[in-house]
Structure 1
Amino acid sequence: MRIRKLVLPVSDPASVARYFGDVLQFPVHGCQVIVGWSTLTLVPADGRPLGGVHLAFNVPDNRFAEAMSWLRARTALQRSPDGKDYFALESSWQSQSVYFTGPDGLILELIGRRRLPASSRVGAFDGSEITCLSEVGLPVADVPATQRGLAGRFGLAPLSEPSPVFAPLGDDEGLLIVVDATRHWFPEQVDLPNAQGLVVEIEAPHGPAEVADAGQGWSVRGV
């Protein structure tokens, strides 16, 4: 599944666009940020709550060490309560990640996934090697019910075994991270999830459809 577009409410679209351009080296056109095949459109929050929005970006797994060094030189990394700032997952994930805090309290992640193609690049890492927006966090009151709704409308299966509080739906190229609204985000376990005003547009094998959560303020649209 590919996440093609994301509408992201922020406090100051121009300032947040500069962050993405300066820190992560993404191409920026006005208030649109280009991340490989994904486009982030920054819009004014207009009173919506900020903070607690989780986004992840894919990097080639064989370039992850270089990506981590590149990121560490540009911003502080988030740490878990036991002091770790690097996280590797086996089982169905087959991934390695680092997390960092963006403007407006965005909880951002670089993630390398072993099953995706390797890169031929060598030497110092550059932001142009980030391939896509690969995860968007979606808080809900009922994870199993939302999982069923997204599966029915878009044909999305869980990447790993879902639980009553966490269900990653999609594949290595794109995931909707459906989480209980009372579950604090990993790794710092401080911020509650927020997705007020998010509009996610995905490639959906079942054709055009939409799933929305009025209480949490987000929607997912398939094209």
Structure 2
Amino acid sequence: MKKILILFMLLMAITSSCFAASINEEFENTNVEQVKHGIVKAINMFSTKTNLVEKDNNTIVLFNVVDTVDKDNKFMYRDKKDIICELVQKGNNVELKLSNRYERIYADGTNEFEEYDNVKELQAVLNSIKRLFFDSYIYGISSSREIKDNGVIINVVEKSPAAKAGIKIGDCLISINGKSIVDNFEDFNMGLMIDMFSSEPATFVVVQDGEEKTIEVTPDKIDAIGLK
């Protein structure tokens, strides 16, 4: 039994290593330099907390750092989370691969590396980059991050598709396309519950003035931002 348990643990470790989080996207009729420029622009536009370094001609690393100090404000260690952007030219197209890595750097200069699987974080970054190259679609709803009962209180942009469909500021959003907001709260706040590159209508269930309503909303198209 002990041998079986050890074998199972080794298998799990190997499997985790083989399936570390990564996602790919192909950009048509472009080159590596244009996609690199798109990555830099997207990070500057959509993320104020992310730093960026160009590792080589085909790799850009996006990173966040958090320092931990002791009670005397003496540095103990730094947590560094990387998103590694690797670009490969394939004819007239560029393949972008995003993967992530965690590093802890101690005061004595030693460090530890660890793969961590955060596909949602990678997808959110990829969506920011894709908005420069592809048309996207918006509904005009955002989270107040205030959970109430089995939903979340929402903000609604004036004259947005959601507002025109009858959804109001302060409504309690219960679900989108049948998926619970509370059960998928992180996805909702990261903008991942709806495909922002699809023009398909979405079905919202809200509680408005004490009454539960099902409202279909067709999004507005936002032209690709472009690289200039």
Shared fold (TM-score, shorter chain, > 0.5): no
Higher relative contact order (CA 8 A, sep 6+): 1
Which structure has the greater CA radius of gyration? 2
Q: When the two structures are superposed, what TM-score results if normalisation uses the length of structure 2?
A: 0.28
State TM-score, norm by structure 1.
0.28
Higher fraction of strand: 2
Q: Which has the higher helix share?
A: 2
